[in-house]
Amino acid sequence: MKQIVVPIDFSDNSNNALQYAKTLFSSEICTFYLLNVYISNPSNLLSKEYNDSILTEMSQESEKNLKILLNKTNKENDNNHHNFEIVSRANTLVNAINHMLNTKKIDFITMGAKGTKGMFLGSNTVKVINGVENCPLLVVPQSYIPKKPSLIAFSTNFKRTFVKDELNPLIDIALSNHSKINIARIMIEEYLNDYQKVNKETLKVLFKDLDYIFCKIDVETSETNALKEFATQTESDLIALVHHKHNFFQKLMEEDVVDKITFNSPLPLLILPELKLKETAK
């Protein structure tokens, strides 16, 4: 059984993320935790503005809206494999998610991607990417119409060793949805070095049960543009990557607003957390 956290702020953005999660895992037995937080900053809990009566009112409002959403979701649900629970927390989104990771076996987080001023990634999304560890994150554009992924673009430069547990969420999604994978090599260099060749062979072993091909992407302007154009041209349905210091996505998190606007992906992202080798040996 899979357990999936879906942050909810009662917007179309978060509702679409929930619909996407239901579609993506339609063949899986799942519990979806609909999480609403109503304190943006922990210091607010100590503020005079947030006395007990105000917090009680905020808690009641959160619970009321979650119950309305739960009733609506249950009425619309036609999948006997899916169960929904509501969670209301007076906390930041990152802290609330991390608490759930510590108390439950959470398999995925699925959230909307809506940002301001044309940015693909909103501030809450970026905070979750940077503040939540060891849990795959699915980021869904608000305008994306949920559907099962027929083709997944997996971005890599082969500059690090692949870890099985790290890639298991991607493998699981591909198998359950019968998805093909385009392994997109984004590199300025023409050829792989010996270390990269070893990593490529490792990936072949890990993907042995999948339908995949290797593709090389030419970088004409930027890595972000190259991947976005590749995914669009190949009619991919999902972009997957490992969030680590050697790939462009980490750079994207550190770049200025202009570069982040450039990567305005029309497709959902599957962001796989980097796992250390020793963590997988537990």
The answer to whether the 2-140 and 151-281 domains have the same CATH topology is yes
Measured at the CA of 144, the angle between CA 141 and CA 149, to 5 degrees, comes to 105
DSSP 192-209: --HHHHHHHHHHHHHTTT
Measured at the CA of 270, the angle between CA 212 and CA 24, to 5 degrees, comes to 80
Which pLDDT score is estimated for 116?
43
Q: Are 151 and 237 in contact (CB under 8 A)?
A: yes
Which pLDDT score is estimated for 261?
37
Which residue would you say has higher pLDDT here, 261 or 80?
A: 80
Which pLDDT score is estimated for 205?
97
Domain ranges of the chain: 2-140, 151-281
pLDDT at 257 over 50: no
pLDDT at 118 over 50: no
2-140 under CATH 3.60.21.10, yes or no: no
* Fold topology of 151-281: Rossmann fold (3.40.50)
**Proportion of the chain above pLDDT 90, given as a percent:** 59
Q: Are 23 and 150 in contact (CB under 8 A)?
A: no
Predicted TM-score (pTM) of the model is 0.88
Chain segment 166-176, per-residue pLDDT in tens: 999 999 999 99
DSSP 222-239: -HHHHHHHHHHHTT-SEE
Least confident of 79-83, 100-104, 170-174, 255-259: 255-259
pLDDT at 38 over 70: yes
Chain segment 204-251, per-residue pLDDT in tens: 999 999 999 999 888 776 777 788 889 989 999 999 988 865 555 555
Chain segment 138-194, per-residue pLDDT in tens: 999 888 999 999 999 998 889 888 989 999 999 999 999 999 999 998 777 788 999
Where would I find the beta strands (DSSP E) of the chain?
Answer: 2-7, 30-37, 82-89, 108-112, 137-140, 151-156, 180-186, 211-217, 238-243, 269-273
Paired sense of beta strands 211-217 and 180-186, if any = parallel
For residue 258, with 0-12 CB atoms within 10 Å meaning exposed, 13-18 middle and 19 or more buried, which class applies?
A: exposed
